[in-house]
Amino acid sequence: MNNPSLVSADTTAGELEAILSAAQEAASALRDSTGSERASWLRAVGTAIDEERAELLDLAAAESHLARAALDAEVNRTVFQLEHLAQAAESGELLRVLAEPADADYAVAARPSLVQAMTPLGPVLVFTASNFPFAFSVAGNDFASALAAGCPVVVKANPGHLGLSARTAEVVSGALAKAGAPEGTFAHIQGVEPGVAALRDPRIKACGFTGSVAGGRALFDIAASRPDPIPFYGELGSLNPVFVTPAAATARAEEIAAGFAASITFRGGQLCTKPGVLIAPEGSGILDSAGAAVAEIEPVTLLTDRITDAFAEGTKSLSGLPGARVVAGGAGTSPTLVAVPAATVLADGGSSLEECFGPAAVVIEYRDPAEIGAIARVLGPSLTATIHGEPADAVAESLVDRLGSLAGRVIWNGWPTGVSVTRALHHGGPYPATTSPTYGSIGAGSAQRWLRPVTYQNWPVELLPREVRAHVDPSAV
Amino acid sequence: MNNPSLVSADTTAGELEAILSAAQEAASALRDSTGSERASWLRAVGTAIDEERAELLDLAAAESHLARAALDAEVNRTVFQLEHLAQAAESGELLRVLAEPADADYAVAARPSLVQAMTPLGPVLVFTASNFPFAFSVAGNDFASALAAGCPVVVKANPGHLGLSARTAEVVSGALAKAGAPEGTFAHIQGVEPGVAALRDPRIKACGFTGSVAGGRALFDIAASRPDPIPFYGELGSLNPVFVTPAAATARAEEIAAGFAASITFRGGQLCTKPGVLIAPEGSGILDSAGAAVAEIEPVTLLTDRITDAFAEGTKSLSGLPGARVVAGGAGTSPTLVAVPAATVLADGGSSLEECFGPAAVVIEYRDPAEIGAIARVLGPSLTATIHGEPADAVAESLVDRLGSLAGRVIWNGWPTGVSVTRALHHGGPYPATTSPTYGSIGAGSAQRWLRPVTYQNWPVELLPREVRAHVDPSAV
């Protein structure tokens, strides 16, 4: 399905050596760049992608099987992400400058003059996602955030869209060169072995990943076992539970059922934020209505053969749980809804509810509100957790603390799919949602993954990095 | 040397189970506490330590062999750290609240109302340091920062001062109980096996460590290999190079030599910020003057037998390097200065210069300024890097970029020892200085190690955590 004219063989050892050597060289030049310069490079990439939109969409649609309209919207988002990170770089906010003047009378001992500012970690390796061939791929958020932070980026192509990756890489490289970014700022590699070799290389200083728990954990283990372990920011798996209180079910069962069916089938259910389980009161009608809505949705071709096979296995496994009943779908890549008794989930400590990537979800019906709390206690961490509740809803209130301890984003009367690219949205969570709970992988805050603080003590202002100097008031240090 | 009435046997499996279970219970209560409440608990601990100062100093002096005056100053610092973190908790700054109102016209898709705020990770395990029996031990910065963040703390006693640890733990427990902190907020364990068992336990959500590279790496590997890897914040080893330019050597050789000798022998050289290597121009007189000053400093009893043995091995290893010459000391625990030829360090890629914990350091004399850059390029990462230079000093300028990429704190015309407890001082660096380059282990910023962001989407203000609510303007969401 890949475009043979664009997909060359895997990156050779010699090519990788040249790429890593150039990235290391570029790291020094990028440390000395300003946020405004990096913003101009990011915008040049956005403009170039927009200009090549038609050709890129053709490639993406052919390789990913995603709907062209969805991909077109994704290009808009990708271009906006580049602009969003450009603004963050330009504003100086990523530097987090903190200046404290010398103080002879400070606390227990005299304090020297101190200026703290973030500095880029160095070359970043990015393993791209299959499900967002633009927004989380070659020119996606990991690329944009690392470059905004001042790090050279080596992107490993996703095998699900090699032709698009190669072409996007050409567009990115061309735009960066034309905009005057240092050579080595960006490179594109292909193949599992070159990806792993790059991850083990001491010139790579951090890694981003979006994908499966199995793949992400294997790479995390490599990063952690290096002689010098490096930060590994992986977004792995997430069940994204949705809890419906009795009051909410009474007030708007049909609306909730329709919203759920739409959310689990959006983009073929191939989203990290797909709500994989809905917990609703028995007899509310939500299960039947959602089942009817899901049954009407056409099967789609999933991203890759591997994902298609895993989906068939996943739905089979869910259908085989004790007491489970297939309410809709259940064959091939049909959107699938499975009802699972609360007792089954409570009995196995929630382990039966592994994420099933694709258009499938589980509904658990509870008999009394005490059960909803018990279910919340056995579910593992997720990117998101959602409550459908009503004002002054005691059942909703009883869930708040537990859900806040499980997820990185909690949602009231909404759906976790449809993620806003902005500063206040955190896209991350405790393992396995992400390998590091501290930073998310969307929005300006995600650039902090590629930075570390440096303090300049009694440092002459004229020797501060060019960019830091611009954001320090000389009279304050 | 330990006080037998205070040092009981290692924590049993049953005791550990009760401790972890109580910590998990307390995590929920602490998530619901306010910063002001936590500040009052931290201050209560500081007051109690101050009240028991005389007895604690007796124990510390007997077990650590550190000078009583140094320990007394350390208690002041410890009490101030507790106050510093109390202020950070109280002010709400640790929450990093970020509120963005709903915006139907936002960028590529409507944005919901979003409030982001930090939330505690849960129970934190702390492996304490031998070299600061107060400031980095039971009631030290890891304890203070984790409690400020809202995390229960389980502290593993350092074998170098078990009696002091046990007594400090009694003081801390008593103060917390009296101040109304939830049961399970703090516990103290003893023994390697219980420490490792706690680190593997799923109820522990993060770990802090200060100590050797070997010990820290072993624990890091355990944390990273858990089914659910947790953040491990270890401060391991650091060489802290000091570079003297020709201009600085000409201007003030005697002053630099005296400062160096004092810095490497302060507290018996048992500091993570001890400058382990000084790079100075040949023939400047700094080597001889520093050697004479070091030779006049009396040997001290080091912290533990293990450290004493390692010091003897370390100085022997340095003295045995090709072309090395012992300039002062060299026997037993005598303060020791070894001159090592630049060629030796350049030939082995800097690997010969491992940290030697205790009152020992290396001087490398360079012949021409080009050599100083070559040496900077082979040295590995450190907590700090220092330049002694003069105004408009081209040699100093040539080092700036390299040192900023190697260290978490760069110092101009000063010494790395003597660390200010404040917001702008970053105490961390690339591995092996710290296992995570992102956060330091001193000051208010160190509390961020124990927090992660949560975004509340379209969330009713009245269901926000109590503390977050107090810092959000309801009209802004």
Q: If you average pLDDT over residues A79-103, what whole number do you get?
A: 97
Give the single-character DSSP code of B451.
Answer: E
* CA dist list (Å): A407 to B33, B264, B450: 19, 47, 16
| β-sheet bridge partners, residue A152 | none
Coil, strand or helix at A116: strand
Burial class (CB in 10 A: 0-12, 13-18, 19+), A197: middle
The pLDDT tens digits of the residues spanning B182-216 come to: 999 999 999 999 999 999 999 999 999 999 999 99
Across the interface, whether the CB atoms of B404 and A119 are under 8 A apart is answered yes
Closest among B361, B177, B211, B359 to B279, alpha carbons compared: B361
Q: If you average pLDDT over residues B232-257, what whole number do you get?
A: 97
Pairwise CA distance, residues B108 & A79, whole Å: 10
> By CA distance, what is B228's nearest residue in A?
A431
Q: Please count the other Cβ atoms lying within 10 Å of the Cβ belonging to residue A202.
A: 11
The pLDDT tens digits of the residues spanning B38-92 come to: 999 999 999 999 999 999 999 999 999 999 999 999 999 999 999 999 999 999 9
Better-scored residue on pLDDT, B355 or A254 = A254
Using the Cβ of B114 and the Cβ atoms of chain A, whether some distance falls under 8 Å is answered with yes
CB environment B47-84: b (16+ within 10 A), e (fewer)? bbbeebbeebbbbbbebbbbeeeebebbbbbbbbbbbb
> Given a cut of 70, is residue A2 above it in pLDDT?
no
Q: Please count the other Cβ atoms lying within 10 Å of the Cβ belonging to residue A232.
A: 27
Q: If you average pLDDT over residues A194-212, what whole number do you get?
A: 97
Pairwise CA distance, residues B431 & A10, whole Å: 31
Pairwise CA distance, residues A304 & A282, whole Å: 36
- The count of C-alpha atoms lying within 13 angstroms of the C-alpha of A308, restricted to the half-sphere facing its C-beta, is 12
Q: Is A183 a catalytic residue?
A: no
Across the interface, whether the CB atoms of A457 and B410 are under 8 A apart is answered yes
> Which chain B residues contact residue A451 at CB under 8 A?
438
**Averaged confidence pLDDT in chain B:** 95
Give residue B349's pLDDT band: very low, low, confident or very high (50, 70, 90). confident
Determine the longest span between alpha carbons in chain A, in angstroms. 74
DSSP string, A263-289: HHHGGGG--TT---EEEEETTSSHHHH
> Given a cut of 80, is residue A302 above it in pLDDT?
yes
> Given a cut of 80, is residue A5 above it in pLDDT?
no
> Given a cut of 90, is residue A249 above it in pLDDT?
yes
Give the single-character DSSP code of A107.
Answer: T
Pairwise CA distance, residues B38 & B148, whole Å: 6
Across the interface, whether the CB atoms of B99 and A458 are under 8 A apart is answered no
pLDDT at A7: 61
> Among A151, A207, A272, A356, which one carries the catalytic annotation?
A272
What pTM value is reported for the model? 0.97
Across the interface, whether the CB atoms of B437 and A452 are under 8 A apart is answered yes
The pLDDT tens digits of the residues spanning A261-292 come to: 999 999 999 999 999 999 999 999 999 999 99
Using the Cβ of B337 and the Cβ atoms of chain A, whether some distance falls under 8 Å is answered with no
CB environment A66-89: b (16+ within 10 A), e (fewer)? beeeebebbbbbbbbbbbbbbbbb
Does an H or E element contain B45, and which?
A: helix B35-51
The pLDDT tens digits of the residues spanning A117-133 come to: 999 999 999 999 999 99
* CA dist list (Å): A43 to A82, A155, B87: 6, 19, 42
pLDDT at B477: 74
**Cβ within 8 Å of A, B 140-199:** none
Using the Cβ of A220 and the Cβ atoms of chain B, whether some distance falls under 8 Å is answered with yes
Whether omega before A416 lies within 30 degrees of 0, making that bond cis, reads no
Name which of A99, A112, A225 is nearest B414 (Cβ-Cβ).
A112
Give residue A1's pLDDT band: very low, low, confident or very high (50, 70, 90). very low
**Cβ within 8 Å of A, B 350-379:** none
Burial class (CB in 10 A: 0-12, 13-18, 19+), B389: buried
Give residue B7's pLDDT band: very low, low, confident or very high (50, 70, 90). low
Using the Cβ of B400 and the Cβ atoms of chain A, whether some distance falls under 8 Å is answered with yes
pLDDT at B4: 45
Q: Which amino acid is at B34?
A: T
Answer whether A98's CB lies under 8 Å from A116's CB.
Answer: yes
pLDDT at B474: 77
> Given a cut of 60, is residue B343 above it in pLDDT?
yes
Across the interface, whether the CB atoms of B107 and A421 are under 8 A apart is answered yes
Answer whether A125's CB lies under 8 Å from A208's CB.
Answer: yes
Q: If you average pLDDT over residues A284-306, what whole number do you get?
A: 96
**Cβ within 8 Å of A, B 30-89:** 31-32, 73, 76-77, 80, 84
- Residue-range domain boundaries for chain A: 13-236+434-476, 241-412
CATH entry 3.90.1010.10 includes domain B241-412: no
Answer whether A275's CB lies under 8 Å from A240's CB.
Answer: yes
Coil, strand or helix at B360: strand
Residues 6+ apart with CB under 8 A from B297: B261, B265, B335, B359
Across the interface, whether the CB atoms of A454 and B76 are under 8 A apart is answered no
3-state helix, strand, coil in chain A (%, to 5): 45, 15, 35
**Cβ within 8 Å of A, B 242-271:** none
Coil, strand or helix at B5: coil
Across the interface, whether the CB atoms of B455 and A409 are under 8 A apart is answered yes
Q: Is the dihedral of CA B282, B285, B286, B289 positive or negative?
A: positive
Q: Is B96 left (phi over 0), alpha (psi -120 to 50) or beta?
A: left
pLDDT at A348: 87
Across the interface, whether the CB atoms of B220 and A229 are under 8 A apart is answered yes
> Given a cut of 80, is residue B319 above it in pLDDT?
yes
Give residue A112's pLDDT band: very low, low, confident or very high (50, 70, 90). very high
Q: What is the CA radius of gyration of chain A?
A: 24
Residue A407 backbone phi and psi in degrees, to 5: -130, 165
Q: Please count the other Cβ atoms lying within 10 Å of the Cβ belonging to residue B111.
A: 20
Pairwise CA distance, residues A262 & A267, whole Å: 10
The pLDDT tens digits of the residues spanning B395-418 come to: 999 999 999 999 999 999 999 999
Pairwise CA distance, residues A465 & A31, whole Å: 8
Pairwise CA distance, residues A122 & A109, whole Å: 35
Using the Cβ of B99 and the Cβ atoms of chain A, whether some distance falls under 8 Å is answered with yes
* A232-235 β-sheet, strand order: A186-189, A153-156, A124-127, A206-210, A232-235
DSSP string, B271-339: -TT---EEEEETTSSHHHHHHHHHHTSPP---S-HHHHHHHHHHHHHHHTSTT-EEEE--STT--EEEE
Pairwise CA distance, residues B40 & B44, whole Å: 6
* Minimal CA separation from B330 to chain A, in Å: 31
Pairwise CA distance, residues A459 & A447, whole Å: 26
- Give the count of Cβ contacts less than 8 A between chain A and B: 225
Across the interface, whether the CB atoms of B422 and A114 are under 8 A apart is answered yes
Across the interface, whether the CB atoms of A455 and B428 are under 8 A apart is answered no
The pLDDT tens digits of the residues spanning B131-187 come to: 999 999 999 999 999 999 999 999 999 999 999 999 999 999 999 999 999 999 999
Q: ∠ CA(A253), CA(A257), CA(A258), 5° rounding?
A: 120
Helix boundaries (H) for A190-304: 192-200, 213-224, 246-265, 286-295
Answer whether B222's CB lies under 8 Å from B200's CB.
Answer: yes
> By CA distance, what is B408's nearest residue in A?
A454
* CA dist list (Å): A338 to A209, A357, B5, B293: 30, 14, 62, 79
- Say which CATH architecture domain B13-236+434-476 belongs to: 3-Layer(aba) Sandwich (3.40)
Rounded to a whole number of angstroms, the distance between the first and last alpha carbons of chain B is 60
**Cβ within 8 Å of A, B 275-294:** none
pLDDT at A352: 83
- Quote the percentage of chain A above a pLDDT of 90: 94
Pairwise CA distance, residues B405 & B286, whole Å: 27
Pairwise CA distance, residues B91 & B84, whole Å: 11
pLDDT at B8: 73
> Which chain B residues contact residue A439 at CB under 8 A?
453
Coil, strand or helix at A455: strand
